[in-house]
Chain A
Amino acid sequence: MTLTTRKFDALIVGAGGAGLRAALQLSNGDARVAVVSKVFPTRSHTVAAQGGVNAALANVLPDSWHWHMFDTVKGSDYLGDQDAIEYMCRAAPKVVYELEHFGVPFSRLEEGNIYQRAFGGQSQHFGKEQAARTCAAADRTGHAILHSLYQQNLRARTHFFDEYFAIDLIKDDSGHVLGVIAFDILSGEPIVIEAKTTLIATGGAGQIFRTNTNALSNTGDGMAMALRAGVPLEDMEFVQFHPTGIAGRGMLITEGARGEGGFLINDQGERFMERYAPNAKDLASRDVVSRAIAIEVRDGRGCGRNKDHALLDLRHLGADTIMKKLPGIREVSMTFLGVDPIEEPIPVFPTCHYSMGGIPTNRDGQVVVPMKDTPEDPVPGLYAAGEAACVSVHGANRLGGNSLLDILVFGRAAANHILDFLNDNRHHRPLHQDSVDQALARLARWDRKGEGEAVEPLRRELRKVMEDHCGVFRTAEVMQEGVTRLHKLRERIDNAVIRDHSRTFNTARVEAMELENLMDCAMATIVSALGREESRGAHSRMDFTDRDDGRWLRHSLYSLQDDAMDYKPVRTQPVTVESFPPKERVY
């Protein structure tokens, strides 16, 4: 069989905000760039981001990138790498202005500047008054950004492989990454895409949990590809539970709802966040608010017939503010609950939202692994950015509004580094047939016929195991049992079959390959969580309730080989300013 082969300077896997921002930089830099995406680009999950993107523009209240940096370090529970955080916060205003020039329809203030709202964990003067740092296009900021970036890429004539599924990275014996093997979902035909550099921008793995705010396509494909190529995943135990998912369903209600003045109440009608975070109240960091809701419900103060959720009250904001600033969440609430937030509060409960962990990179987007000399040797030709990556700016807990910022800053930074790399590496390296054959075998594996379990029930079981054994509150005993179950599930997935063996747009095969990716990401998450014997940020251990900086101020590294754990130090030294040493975290 002759395999179609295409060659590009730079390949990007994933067409969300990180991938498209990088693609635009590369196209404008005259590199031949291709973007592979399993969905049409504007269907990527960046489109669902609501509240906004953080940048210290000071359009509404005084602000500085340094305060933003402090908030991000504190929000990360001191696990974030301070060099990367400084870089991101300094770059933030520039990338937001660029977006505006690309055409993003930001909401506007009276004088015509970009509208900014308050979000959780934001402060002025290093922890004092609330700041307003989140630049918003109503509550559809992700949509506005993703569409504008796609449009500018069309203008720049970026090459798109729409509805192509990337199977695995191609890597040679010297460790260079040479591109990917993918298949065209439409025809079912495999294709080799060779590139001098490959950027993984495939987003998160929120589908490993049963209740989540994520798209069905968020299956950690890039993270799993990295694992299979021998790259460990960093800090996978840190999974953000968003405080305000629609109870029982999971659809996201933006933090901007609280930023605009909404608050949470329990069954007594009490604004309970005043007890957990006396200063910031409802705008404390997400880990804090999520735990508070879970505790209220656990202690019997939940709302509703089953006392299983809290209420988000927006009624006092008035119809004008809700319709102008929060039209999207009103629509979601009315569609899925029949509840108009102008008249009734919205039932909410913490819901899996975001992977703080991912593929380890430096602040140029290069994937770094422990190889010979340091824990941070770059893998030649391989880059990662966005939720798939762990740079790490979010550490143990991400601040709202920092994920859109992360994808833009590091998508752009990775592209700039790639342009330099391309200057020094003018030629493609020879293709490595072994890794091509391995990927094709993975694809062919699903042609197997005969008896075997189906994919969907296995996926459901995996998500249930993760919810039951690796949720908001964790203990060694419960997680150990979860690991055992996942090991058994892994074997069952190896023997699963699909019934549909046609070539044309076979979604069953796509879902089967996504399940394999979910499995690897789930295992990385629970094994890393079991390893970390402390509570920090989003990782809450009932059996180790305190943060332990002596033992655990370090990043976890999970490898697929033997499910092994390794660790590396946190980069506590910023680029130019003084380090923020760990302190007790109060809001």
Chain B
Amino acid sequence: MEFSIYRFNPETDSAPYMQDFTLGDDLVEPGMMLLDALLLLKEQDDSLSFRRSCQHGVCGSDGMNINGTNGLACIMPLKDLKAPIVLRPFPGMPVIRDLIVDMENFYHQYREAEPWLVNDSPEPEVERLQSPEDRDQLDGLYECILCGCCSAACPSYWWNPDRFLGPAALLQAARFIQDSRDEATEERLERLDDAYRLYRCHGIMNCTQVCPKGLNPAKAIGDIRRTMLKRSV
């Protein structure tokens, strides 16, 4: 099986290049994921660099651009991919080395969304109650693994990564706006009510299309906008 992989080592390379790799057919097993193949390729060349950890799509380490689409290598079946498999780092993020990108801006925008529950009422000695219906509102929002596939697929984020929060951070914002236990809804909406932070989303929907967890940041952003609208009338 043939691979074409983006290589760049800032210590030795003046410019990035694509390198061909071949994985012997004897090593390709049924049910294999792209990450399994990458680990074998790393045995051929231990300088091939990528992040990975849990191997089943919950830690969010191994996001990359796979045949032109962002995804997680560990849950991407090899058999679904057209060879040669072309692997690149996330678009729109600075490359540190090979498939590893600098995600600091992504994390910064996540922090900007203030993704923590705010409830300054006196704490009961037991749990705060939440109806199953209210809890259902968090489904599709809280499961985000911060892999970055969505924001790295968003043209608005590519163009304004410093000012537009991006789909991942806005999904987090929605998760706390929706949470019936959170008391900072008003402040959250206030902070988002900005031409860039929220409103740079142009509904391109790449985020929803690539999310490896099947989440829908575009809808979450639409919901925030609707809440915003209701608040202004």
Contacts and interface: CB of A to CB of B under 8 A. Distances in A.
B56 A500 contact: no
B100 interface: yes
A362 B157 CA distance: 49
A301 B215 CA distance: 41
A103 B182 CA distance: 8
Interface string B11-37: 110000000000000000001010000
B131 to A, nearest CB: 5
Interface string A497-508: 011101111111
Interface string B56-92: 1111110000000000000101000000000000000
A421 interface: no
A251 B33 CA distance: 13
A217 B47 CA distance: 18
Interface string B122-137: 0111111111101100
Contacts of A112: 129-132
A31 interface: no
Nearest to A251: B56
A508 B128 contact: no
Contacts, number: 155
B186 interface: no
Contact of B55 (A113, A151, A215): A215
A215 B59 contact: yes
B53 interface: yes
B46 A500 contact: yes
A109 B134 CA distance: 11
Contact of A335 (B9, B75, B182): B75
A332 interface: yes
Nearest to B214: A331
A335 B57 contact: yes
Nearest to B135: A108
A102 interface: yes
Interface in B145-193: 145-146, 176, 179, 181-182
A337 B75 CA distance: 11
Contact of B179 (A103, A108, A154, A502): A103
Given A457-B43, A502-B47, A103 B145 contact: no
A500 B97 CA distance: 13
A127 interface: no
A186 B59 contact: no
Contacts of A144: 142
Contacts of B103: 40
Given A101-B119, A105-B179, A502-B12, A43 B132 contact: no
A498 B46 contact: yes
A507 B181 contact: no
Interface string A332-363: 10011100000000000000000000000000
Determine the interface band of chain B, counting residues with CB < 8 A from chain A.
35 or more
Contacts of B146: 40, 42
A140 B143 contact: yes
A502 B98 CA distance: 13
A112 B39 CA distance: 45
B125 to A, nearest CB: 7
B111 A500 contact: no
A250 to B, nearest CB: 9
Nearest to B180: A112
Interface string B96-111: 1100100100010001
A112 B127 CA distance: 9
A40 to B, nearest CB: 8
Contact of B43 (A40, A456, A504): A456
A507 B130 contact: no
B204 interface: no
Contacts of A500: 46-47
A508 to B, nearest CB: 4
Given A43-B53, A43-B61, A249-B31, A108 B130 contact: yes
Nearest to B61: A43
Contacts of B182: 103
Contacts of B116: 103, 148, 151-152, 154-155
A45 to B, nearest CB: 7
B113 to A, nearest CB: 10
B52 interface: yes
B100 A42 contact: no
A542 to B, nearest CB: 32
A48 interface: yes
Contacts of A331: 57
Nearest to A154: B111
Contact of A502 (B11, B114, B134): B11
A506 B98 CA distance: 11
A341 B77 CA distance: 19
Contacts of B39: 456
A97 B126 contact: yes
Contacts of B209: none
User: Which residue, A96, A101, A106, A148, has most C-beta atoms of chain B within 10 A?
Assistant: A101
Contacts of A45: 53-54, 59
Nearest to B98: A505
Contacts of A502: 9, 11-12, 47
A263 to B, nearest CB: 24
Given A39-B59, A502-B11, A505-B100, 15 more contacts: A40-B107, A43-B54, A48-B56, A97-B127, A100-B127, A108-B132, A108-B135, A147-B142, A151-B116, A151-B117, A154-B115, A251-B56, A336-B31, A502-B47, A508-B47
Interface of A: 39-40, 42-45, 47-48, 57, 96-97, 100-103, 105-114, 137, 140, 143-144, 147-148, 151-152, 154-155, 186, 215-217, 249, 251, 328, 331-332, 335-337, 454-457, 498-500, 502-508, 511
Interface of B: 9-12, 31, 33, 39, 42-43, 45-47, 49-61, 75, 77, 96-97, 100, 103, 107, 111, 114-117, 119, 123-132, 134-135, 138, 142-143, 145-146, 176, 179, 181-182
27 contacts: A40-B103, A42-B145, A43-B59, A44-B59, A47-B59, A100-B128, A101-B117, A101-B123, A101-B127, A105-B179, A106-B135, A109-B132, A113-B127, A216-B53, A216-B55, A251-B56, A335-B75, A456-B42, A457-B43, A499-B46, A502-B9, A504-B9, A504-B96, A507-B42, A507-B50, A507-B51, A508-B47
